[in-house]
Chains A and B, each alone.
Chain A
Amino acid sequence: MSDVVEKTLSALPSLLSLDSQAGAGKLSPSSKLGNLIKGITELTSKHEEERLIKKELESIKEQVASPNTTMRQMKEIMVRAIYCEMLGYQASFSYIHAIKLAQQGSVLEKRVGYLAVSLFLNETDEFLLLLVNTVLKDLQSTNLIEVCMALTVVSQMFPKDMIPAILPVVEEKLTHPKEIIRRKAVLALYKFYLIAPNQVQHIHSKFRKALCDKDPGVMTASLHIYLQLIKENPESYKDLTGSMVTILRQVVGGKLPLDFNYHSVPAPWLQIQLLRILAYLGKEDQGTSEMMYDVLEESLRRAEMNHNITYAILFECVKTIYTVHPKSQLLEKAAECIGNFVLSPKINLKYLGLKALTYVVQQDANLALPHQMTIIECLDHSDVIIKRETLELLFRITNAQNVTVIVEKMLEFLRLTYNVWFIQTMNSVFSLGGDVMQPDIPNNFLRLLAEGVDNVEDRQLRLFAVDSYVSLLQGETAKLPQRFLQVISWVLGEYSYLREEESDPGSVMRLLARLLDQRHTSTETRSWVLGAMTKLCSSPVYSGSLNTVLRQKAQELMILSQDTKLRARVLPAEDSSLSFLDGYVSEALAAGAAPYKSPHQRQEDLVQEKALSLEPYGLSLPVSLSSCSITDRRSPTLLSMSSGLSGNSTELSHQEGSTTLKLEGVKRVWGKDGYLAQQQSAGETPTPLVELPSPLLSPQSPPSQTQKPSSGLEPDQEKRQLASSLFVGLGSHNSVCLVRFPSTVWLFIKHCQSANQSNVVKALFKPLPLLLPVPLTVSTGDYGKMWLSFSHDLKQNLQLVTTEHQEPLTATLDALKGKLHLHVVDIIGSEGIVACRLLQGPGQGQPCLLHCRVHADSLAVWLRSPVPELPDSLLYHCQKALTET
C-alpha cells in the first residue's frame, strides 16, 4: 500500500492540476484526497493507518513549506489536512497556512481557508489574531460571497478581545440591502452578545430594527438575541409581548411566504422561538399572560397534523402554557395533549410525554394519575433512557407514602445499569449518610444484592462489593457509620466465599475480628459482625445451598459448639450492664451528646414524627417453613432480626401470640427485574391472613381494606398494585394505600423467621434474662421521687382488659397485679401508677416503675428503671400476661 502512496506522491505536480472538480459533481476517487481515503479504507489495522497518515502529513508539510506551491494547490492540501485532523492526527503545522489561504486566496480558495481555520482553531488560539485584518477586509469587500464568508467565520469563532475592531463594520451590515447579509450580521451580533455582552450593549436599538425587518428571516435571526435578553431580564421587555403575539398569530395563520414552510408547517423554528419567548414573558405575570392565551390556544389547535414537527410545536406550546400564569381551560387542553404524547406508540413522543409530565406534576401531581398504567409499563421499558425519565417523574411525585417503593425502583435501576458504579456510590452514600439514613435504604441495598439468580452478573456484583469492603476494612474503620459496618458485615458474611480461591479465607475473619474488638463498634453492629463470623465458620455447608434456614442455623450452632476456642471469641462473656462504656457515655454526654434512648423509645418518636406505624407487626397464623422460602435463605433481615436481640428480643417473641399482621393483597411482587411474574405456586404464596384487631398498630394506622386474596393475581392486577403503591398520596383520596410497601413484606418475612428460629438465635447469641418481679410497696410521694431519678424511659401501648363490672384501667392493672405481682400504687382518674422490683438476675433488687394512662382503647405505659433491660423485659411479660387474660 505504501508503495502506491509513494508513487502517487512522486506524481504530485502533474496530478494537482486535475484535482478541482466542478459543480456538484462528485469528487472522483482518483483525486489526491480520494486516494488517501481509499488507501485508508483498504487498511486492516490501526497501526497501518498511523503509518499512512504520518507519511501523508509529512508530504503535506513538505508541500506547504515549498514556495512553489500555488494557492490552488494549497486549497487541495488543506482539504487533506482537514481530513487527517478529522481522523485524529494533528496537523498543527498547517494552521498558519490555512490563515494564509484565507488571506491571500481567491474567493474559492478563501472559502476552504476559512473552513480550515474554523475547524482547526479555537477562540483562544493566538493564530486567530492574524485573521482579524483579513476578516475586516472581507467584511468591507464588494463581493457578497466574501462578506458572507467573513460573517460566517466571525459567528463561528472570533477572539473576544478583537470584537471592537470589527464591530462597527458588522453593525453597518444590519442595514445592508441584501437580507442574507443582514441575517448573518444579526447572528454574528448574537454570537458577540453571548461571548461579550458588554460589547454590544449600545446597539440594542438596532436589534429592535432587526426585529421589525421586512424580511422574516432577519426577524427570526433577531429573536435569538431577544430570547437571550428576555431570559436574563424579562421585566425590561414586557412591551414586546404584543409584537411577539402578533408575529406568532401571523405565522400560525400562514401569512409567511411559502419558502418558510417546512413540510407544509409554517415556519416551525420561528413558532417555537416565539413560544419560548412568550413563556419567559408570561411567567408569573398575569397581565402579560392574558395577552397570549388566545394565540397559545390557536397554536395548539393548528398544530394538529401528524408530523414530527407539529409535535415539536405542541410540546413547546404545552411547556409555555404551563410556564405562564395558568388558565384552567388552556391547562386542560395542554394536559390532554400531554396525554396524547404519553400514550403515543412512537417512542420519541412517549419520552417527551414523560418529560412534559415530569414538568407539570410539579404543579399538580394529580396529572400523573390518568397515566399510572403507562408509567408502570415505562418503568420496565427496554430503553434505559425511558426508564430513567420515568424515575425522574416518580421522583417528582414522591411523598411520604410512596417513598419506599420509589427509592427501591431507583436502586434497582442503578444496579441494573452500572454495577461497579452502583457499589461505589452506595459506599459513599453509606459513609456519608450513615446512621441518619432510614433503615429502609441499607435493607433495600442488601436485598438487591441478595436477590436474583446466581448468574455471573450477580456474582460479579457481589464479588465487587466484597472486595471493596475488604479494602475498606483494611483501612481506617473508626469513621465508618455503624449502619455501613452492619451492611459490610452482612455482605462479607454472605459472599466472602466468592473470593476465597484467590485469597486466604482467614483474612476476612481477621478483619471482622478486628472490628469486633474496636471500642467504637456498637452492640448492634457487633451482633452483625458475629453473625457474619458465624456464617463464615460454616461456609462449606453454607455454600451447599438448598438448606433450609433452620438447618443452616443448626449447623452453625453445631460448629460453634464443637470449636470452643471460636465460641469463646464469638460469644464473649457478657457484661449486660455495659459498665465498661460508662466512661465513654459520660464523656459523650458532657460533650453534648443526646442521652441514650431505647429502641422502643426511638421507634415511638419516629411514629409520632411520621404518623406512620413502624411498630413491628405480629403474627397470627402458623407459618410454615415454606413461607420462609419466600425470601432467599440469605435474607438480610435474618441478621437485622438477630441484631435486634440485644434490646428487643422480648418483642420478637411476644408477637408470636398476640397480634396479627395485615397483609391483604401483599405478596412478593418485587424482584430484580421489577415485577415478578407468578412464579410461586399457591401453596407457597403467603396465604391471605385473617384480619384481627391489632392492638400494636397505633390508632393512626391506615384503615383496613377490603380483603383481597393475594394469590392468583393477574399480571395486570399486579401492575395496578404497583400503581397504587407508587401513586399513593396523590389525588384527593390521599389516605388510602391499597398495597403496603415491600417493607411490610419484609416485616412479615422477618417474623416468619423469628417464629422458627428465635429459639436458635437466642441460644446462639444471648439468653433472655429470667425476670421475676415482686411487688414494691411505695407511697405515691416516694414513687414520684424515684420516677424523677430514673432515666431509662420506655413507652409502649398495651391492650386494655375489659370486664363487665370494672373500669378498664382497674381491670387491666388488677390483671397485671395478679399475674406479675406488681404493686398498684395509686389510680387517679384515667391514670395509674404501678411499681415492682426484681428478685434476681443482674439487676437484683432494682425497682421498675410503670405509669399508665388510658388512651382511646389502649393503655399507654411509660416504664422507668435504673436497669436498662428491666423495662423491656417487664413489658414483655405485661404483654404476655394481658394477652393471656
Chain B
Amino acid sequence: MMHFLLLFSRQGKLRLQKWFTPIPEREKKKIVRDMTTMVLGRKPRSCNFLHWKDLKIVYKKYASLYFCCGLDAEENELLALEVLHRYVELLDKYFGNVCELDIIFNFEKAYFILDEFLLGGEVQETSKQVVSRSIEASDMLQEAEIDNSDYDLELGWP
C-alpha cells in the first residue's frame, strides 16, 4: 500500500500532498522535510529508490517536478515507478502537455485525478480512458452548473 504521495519542485516547494494513512500533522511535516532533502540530495545517475524508516521511497523527476511516494516494505518498486508514470500520463492527458504551473494553479484538479486513479493507497483504475472519462463527467457537471442548470445530471458512465 502507498502511504503518501508528494509532489515538490526542484526548490523543495511542495506542490501536492496526499496521505493515505493517518499520520499526525507534525510527522507529516517531518516526512515532507525529509523527503525533499533526501530526494533533492540525490546525485544524478542514482537509482530511484530510497529507504526511510520502514518505508520504501520511490521517486522520479518529471521536468521540474519530483514525484515521490512512500510504500510498504513488500511493495514492488518498479511497479510504483509505473504508478507515478501513469499519474503523470493522466495529468498530461487532462491538461495537455502538463507543466508544473498547471499543477500549481489547478492543484485541486490534480487531486481529483489522483482520487480517480488511487483509492486508499491502492491503484483503483489503471485505464487512462476510464479515469479521464470520470473526470470529464465531473467537469461537464461543472459546466452545466455554471450554466445555472440546477437539475441533477445522471451521468453516462462507461
Is residue A789 within 8 Å, beta carbon to beta carbon, of the partner chain?
Answer: no
Q: Chain A 50-90, CB within 8 Å of chain B: the 1/0 string?
A: 00000000000000000000000000000100110011100
8 Å CB contacts to B: which residues of A85-103?
86-88
**CB–CB A145/B47 < 8 A:** no
Q: Which residues of B contact A312 (CB under 8 A)?
A: 76, 78-79, 81-82
In the bound complex, residues from chain A placing their C-beta under 8 Å from that of B105 are 26-27, 29, 33-34, 37
Segment at the interface with B among A267-275, A638-646, A820-828? A267-275
Would A184 and B119 be within 8 Å (CB), given that A22-B146, A79-B108, A87-B14 are in contact? yes
A308 contacts the other chain (CB 8 A): yes
* Given A22-B146, A311-B78, A351 and B47 contact (CB-CB distance below 8 Å): yes
B79 proximity list for chain A (CB < 8 A)? 268-269, 272, 309, 312, 316
Q: Which of A33, A86, A269, A348 contacts B77 (CB 8 A)?
A: A348
- Do B120 and A180 touch across chains, with their CB atoms under 8 A apart? no
**A351 and chain B: residue at smallest CB distance:** B47
**A20 interface hit (Cβ, 8 Å):** yes
Find chain B residues with CB under 8 A from A267 CB.
Answer: 126
A27 — which chain B residues lie within 8 A by C-beta?
105-106
Cβ of B34 within 8 Å of any chain A Cβ, yes or no, is no
Tell me which residues from 42 to 62 in chain B have a Cβ below 8 Å from any Cβ of chain A: 43, 45-51
A259–B102 alpha-carbon span in the complex (Å): 27
Q: Is A233 an interface residue (CB 8 A)?
A: no
0/1 string, B114-158, CB within 8 A of A gives 1: 010001101111110110001011110111011000101111011
Q: Please name all residues of chain A whose beta carbon is closer than 8 Å to the beta carbon of B104 when the two chains form the complex.
A: 37
B10 CB within 8 Å of chain A: no
Give the chain A neighbours of B111 by CB distance below 8 A.
Answer: 115, 119
Q: How far is the CB of A70 from chain B (nearest CB, A)?
A: 13
Tell which of B29, B120, B141 touches A88, judged by Cβ atoms closer than 8 Å.
Answer: B29
Given A79-B108, A108-B145, A260 and B46 contact (CB-CB distance below 8 Å): no
Identity of the chain B residue whose Cβ is nearest the Cβ of A181 in the assembled complex? B157
Beta-carbon contact of A184 and B142 below 8 Å: no
CB–CB A262/B143 < 8 A: no
Contact A143-B120, Cβ < 8 Å, known A122-B24, A315-B78: no
Contact A26–B106 (Cβ < 8 Å): yes
Residues of A within 8 A of B96 (CB): 24
Please tell me if the beta carbons of B14 and A183 are within 8 angstroms of each other in the complex: no
A350, B145: Cβ atoms closer than 8 Å: no
Q: Which chain A positions have C-beta within 8 A of B115?
A: 115, 152, 156
Question: A348 is contacted by which of B47, B124, B154 (Cβ under 8 Å)?
Answer: B47
Given A152-B115, A309-B79, decide whether A269 and B51 contact each other with a Cβ distance below 8 A. Answer: no
The A-contacting residues of B in range 61-102, CB under 8 angstroms, are: 74, 76-79, 81-82, 85-86, 94-96, 102
In the assembled complex, which residues on chain B have CB atoms less than 8 Å from the CB atom of A386? 46-47
Partner of B108, one of A37, A112, A157, A311: A112
Question: Which bracket fits the contact residues of A?
Answer: 35 or more
Max chain A C-beta neighbours (<10 A), residue from B102, B107, B112: B107
CA distance A224 to B121 in the complex (A): 11
By a CB distance below 8 angstroms, the chain B residues around A34 are 105
Which residues of chain A in 284-312 are interfacial with respect to chain B, using CB atoms and an 8 Å cutoff? 308-309, 311-312
Q: Is the CB of A123 within 8 A of B124?
A: no
Closest partner residue, chain A, to B130 (CB atom): A259
A145 vs B94: C-alpha distance when bound (angstroms): 19
| Interface residues of chain A: helix, strand, loop or mixed (majority) | helix
Shortest distance in angstroms between B117's beta carbon and chain A's nearest beta carbon?
Answer: 11
Quote the shortest CB–CB distance from A867 to chain B (angstroms).
Answer: 58
Q: Are A382 and B43 in contact (CB under 8 A)?
A: yes
Distance in angstroms from B45 CB to nearest chain A CB is 7
- Also in contact, A190 and B46, with CB within 8 A (given A123-B22, A312-B76): no
Is A124 an interface residue when CB atoms closer than 8 A count as contact?
A: yes
CA distance A191 to B122 in the complex (A): 10
Q: Mark B4-46, 1 if CB is under 8 A from A, else 0.
A: 0000000000111100101111000100000000000001011
Whether A348 lies near B95 (C-beta < 8 A) is no
Of all chain B residues, which has the CB nearest A75? B108
Cross-chain contact B82 with A268 (CB below 8 angstroms): yes
How far does the alpha carbon of A82 sit from the alpha carbon of B104 in the complex, in Å? 12
Give min CB distance, B70 to chain A, whole Å.
15
Q: Which residue of A lies closest to B139 (CB)?
A: A23
> What is the CA–CA distance of A290 and B24 in the complex, to the nearest angstrom?
46
Residues of B within 8 A of A145 (CB): 137-138, 141, 153, 155
**Least CB distance, B13 to chain A, in whole angstroms:** 8
A178 at the binding interface (Cβ < 8 Å): yes
- Which residues of chain B are near A144, meaning CB under 8 Å? 154-155, 157
Q: Is the CB of A157 within 8 A of B22?
A: yes
Q: Are A217 and B125 in contact (CB under 8 A)?
A: yes
- Asked if B102 contacts A26 (CB within 8 A), the reply is yes
Q: A238–B150 Cα gap in the complex (Å)? A: 53
Contacts of B24 in A (CB 8 A): 122
By beta carbon, the residue of chain A nearest B16 is A86
- Check A24 against B94 for contact (C-beta < 8 Å): yes
Contact of B119 among A37, A155, A259 (CB under 8 A): A155
| Cβ contact of B145, chosen from A106, A184, A311, cutoff 8 A | A106
Please determine whether B122 and A224 come into contact, CB atoms closer than 8 angstroms. Answer: yes
A383 interface hit (Cβ, 8 Å): yes
**Cβ-based interface call for A607 (8 A):** no
Interface pair B43/A383, CB less than 8 Å apart: yes
Contact present for A187 and B122 (CB under 8 Å):
yes
Q: Which residue of A lies closest to B136 (CB)?
A: A24
Contact of B123 among A157, A184, A269, A276 (CB under 8 A): A269
Nearest A residue to B15 by beta-carbon distance? Answer: A86
Q: Cβ of A623 < 8 Å from any Cβ of B?
A: no
Interface residues of A in 124-150 (CB under 8 A from B): 124, 142-145, 148
Q: Please, which residue of chain A has its CB at the minimum distance from the CB of B152?
A: A143
Contact in complex: B143, A187 (CB < 8 Å): no
Contact yes or no, B120 A382, CB < 8 A = no
Bound CA–CA A82/B112 (angstroms): 14
Chain A proximity of B10: nearest CB distance (Å): 14
Q: Which of B46, B50, B120, B145 contacts A155 (CB 8 A)?
A: B120
A385 within 8 A of B: yes
Residues of B within 8 A of A123 (CB): 22
A669 within 8 A of partner (CB):
no
CA distance A123 to B95 in the complex (A): 32
Q: Does A111 contact B (CB under 8 A)?
A: yes
B46 surroundings in chain A (CB, below 8 A)? 347, 382-383, 385-386
Does A221 have its Cβ within 8 Å of any Cβ on chain B?
Answer: yes
A residues in contact with B45, CB < 8 Å: 347, 382-383
Confirm or deny: A16 has a beta carbon within 8 angstroms of a beta carbon on chain B. Answer: no
Q: What 0/1 pattern do residues 309 to 322 of A give for CB contact below 8 A with B?
A: 10110011000000
Residue of A nearest to B13 (CB): A87
- Asked if B120 contacts A190 (CB within 8 A), the reply is yes
Interface residues of A in 19-50 (CB under 8 A from B): 20, 22-24, 26-27, 29, 33-34, 37
Q: A37-B104, A382-B46 are in contact. Are A152 and B119 (CB under 8 A)?
A: yes
The answer to whether A86 touches B124 (Cβ under 8 A) is no
Q: Judge whether A108 and B142 touch: CB under 8 Å.
A: yes
Query: In the complex, what distance in Å separates the CA atom of A387 from the CA atom of B107?
Result: 37
A349-380 vs B, Cβ < 8 Å mask (1 yes, 0 no): 01110000000000000000000000000000
Q: 19 extra interchain contacts, Cβ-Cβ under 8 A, other than A157-B22, A312-B82?
A: A37-B104, A82-B107, A107-B141, A107-B145, A122-B24, A142-B152, A152-B119, A156-B119, A188-B120, A224-B122, A269-B126, A272-B76, A347-B45, A348-B49, A350-B47, A351-B49, A352-B77, A383-B45, A383-B46
Mind listing 14 A-B residue pairs with CB under 8 Å? A23-B142, A26-B106, A86-B17, A87-B14, A88-B14, A106-B145, A108-B142, A148-B134, A156-B120, A178-B157, A315-B76, A347-B47, A382-B46, A383-B46
Listed in ascending order, the chain B residues whose CB lies under 8 Å from chain A are 14-17, 20, 22-25, 29, 43, 45-51, 74, 76-79, 81-82, 85-86, 94-96, 102, 104-109, 111-112, 115, 119-120, 122-127, 129-130, 134, 136-139, 141-143, 145-146, 150, 152-155, 157-158
The 4 closest A-B pairs by CB, nearest first: A312-B78, A155-B120, A383-B46, A123-B22
